[in-house]
Amino acid sequence: MKHLGWILDLYHKTGQMVVWLKKPDGKCVRLTDSWKPRIHVGGNYRELIDLACKSYVENSIFVDKFERAGDIEKSRVLEVVVENDEEAAKLARRIQRESSYSNFRLYDVDIPSPQIYLYQKDLFPLALVEAEEKDEKIEWTLRDSRETIDYKLPPLRKIRLEIKTRKNKRVRTFEDELDSLRIITDDEETLVLDSGSEEEKLLSLGQTFNEIDPDIVITEGGDSFIFPYLARRAHKNGMLNRLVLGRDPSPLRVYEVQGHSYFSYGKILYRETAARLLGRLHIDDHNAFISADCGLEGLFEISRTCIIPIQRASRATIGTNMTSLQFYHAVKKNVLIPWNKNQPEEWKNSNELVIADRGGFIHEPETGIYDQVGELDFTSLYPTIMRDQNLSGETVKCKCCPNSLRRVPELDYNICDRWRGIVPQSLEILLDRRSRYKQLKKDEKDELKRQKYDARQSALKWILVCSFRLPWI
């Protein structure tokens, strides 16, 4: 059976990738592709052979990959198939523990499997594709391109979900009884669900979701309160297994509300666990980064360009989005991605980096008051230099071309002639798209289209201000 549609959502369920396609007629179809993630282990060849014979390492083969970006030769590493992302982390920890934390180098452990799947299949979120199901596998044909700026997106049904609780205390808690639910549709129609018992309200919420069948559910605080609260109330009423809000027939999950703090742009920020409605996109305005600034248009642009599923892109920091783009280029170049156990997000922007690392040449102005001062503003100055001069962690002072003609001024470091850096390669598409959108915006008379191009270019601008540290360096 063949299907044409746009990739709306995807996630891994043991042994298979579930992909939701939004079809041109507005309907959605759930496809499954038999597929498992793989981790890689580097180390001494004999020790790797011993490892491959261990009972807890099933289903492994030797493959040749680059262990570091910029390596001249590939290394022979062990590739181990795992059931899912949790298994990947568990197995990686076990291998480390049993080898006394020293002998093996672990790769491709903590990249979310939907991302790896998209990289491997050369697909991206909201790509228009043709999918053919054959013996539990899917054959994909891309009818779209990440390079095009004139892409068509399907009309997506959006709703906004709000809830009211019967507060016992001043602040609302998970113990409050549900008072009412409000669903505001695209055409500003408001549905209020407030009759009957709490159980009836919850059941009619499920029914309403089923009838309206939204693609996007927007909330304010859905991650931290609304969905965990609804799951708890359903649990309390003994009907959790009947509260299905996603397109996938699995019920809402009760999860501990917890988040993590991270450091970004000089601020400590706090991010909550994402509430997922499988097959639909939940966007929490309280827990969103790009869509808060550049709307859905900007979010979709980033998701397509950086190959990061929409729900994750909406909650991800710009560093995570940029990293996804670098991972894509690494995977395409057969470079392994080292296991980053605590995923620090201490990204600095490029200006800070320059200040922090003042190797460059800076004109000090003479203080005073001047008339007729001209101002030059370079668009994406640092990323452009990095792209044009092939600057990347692995290309500066490379071992393979000590006498290259390309040098860092003043410091006289050599820059690789042989290997196109992963950073410049990743920047290429961002810089290119941004300048084309800016031009389109300039030439366009239609105000709505101008706004669209502007939202997309400013979302790209956000990604371009983050720094470009590679995990290999």
Q: Which positions touch Zn ion (CB under 5 A)?
A: 398, 400-401, 416, 418
Q: Are 275 and 284 spatial neighbours (Cβ–Cβ below 8 Å)?
A: yes
Tokens at 276, concatenated = 């997922």
Alpha carbon separation from 89 to 37, 54, 72 (Å, rounded): 11, 17, 29
Shortest approach of Zn ion to residue 2 CB, angstroms?
46
Closer residue to Zn ion (CB): 394 or 454: 394
Task: Give CA–CA dist 213/19, Å, rounded.
Answer: 17
Q: Which is nearer to Zn ion, 287 or 390 (CB)?
A: 390
Three-state secondary-structure class, residue 13 = strand
Is-contact 185 212, C-beta < 8 A? yes
Judge whether 122 and 142 are in contact, CB under 8 Å. yes
Q: Report in angstroms how near the CB of residue 121 gets to Zn ion at its nearest.
A: 31
Question: Given the complex with Zn ion, which of 398 and 470 has the nearer CB atom?
Answer: 398
* Residue 280 to residue 9: CA distance in whole angstroms: 7
What's the closest the beta carbon of residue 295 comes to Zn ion, in angstroms?
42
Q: Quote the DSSP letter at residue 233.
A: H
How far, in Å, CA of 112 to CA of 103, rounded?
A: 25
- Say if residues 5 and 29 touch (Cβ distance below 8 Å): yes
Residues 332 and 121: their CA atoms lie apart, in Å, by: 10
CA distances from 77 to 105, 338, 397, 406 (A): 10, 13, 26, 33
Nearer to Zn ion, 326 or 414 (CB): 414
**Closest distance of CB 427 from Zn ion, Å:** 19
Query: Tell me, what amino acid is at 315?
Result: R
Question: Closer CB to Zn ion, residue 244 or residue 400?
Answer: 400
Residue of 280, 170, 160, 127 whose CA lies nearest to 226: 160
Q: What is the token pair recorded at 344?
A: 């620090």
Element (H, E) at 417: none
Cα separations in angstroms, 281 against 250, 251, 311, 398, 409: 15, 16, 6, 43, 48
Give the nearest distance from C-beta 417 to Zn ion in angstroms.
Answer: 6
> Which residue, 75 or 273, is less far from Zn ion as judged by CB?
75
Minimum CB distance to Zn ion, residue 391 (Å)? 13
Which residue's structure tokens are 């700026």? 149
* Residue 416 C-beta: closest distance to Zn ion, Å: 3
Separation of alpha carbons 340 and 144, rounded Å: 33
Nearer to Zn ion, 57 or 398 (CB): 398
**Which of residues 285 and 417 has its CB atom nearest to Zn ion in the complex?**
417
Q: How far is the CB of 96 from Zn ion (least distance, A)?
A: 32
DSSP H or E run through 336: none
For residue 71, the minimal CB distance to Zn ion (Å) is 11
Nearer to Zn ion, 287 or 414 (CB): 414
User: What distances in angstroms separate CA 212 from CA 31, 184, 186, 442, one per listed residue?
Assistant: 21, 11, 11, 39
Q: Map residue 427 onto helix, strand or coil.
A: helix
Report, in Å, the least distance between residue 418 CB and Zn ion: 4
Q: Which one, 281 or 398, has the nearer CB to Zn ion? A: 398
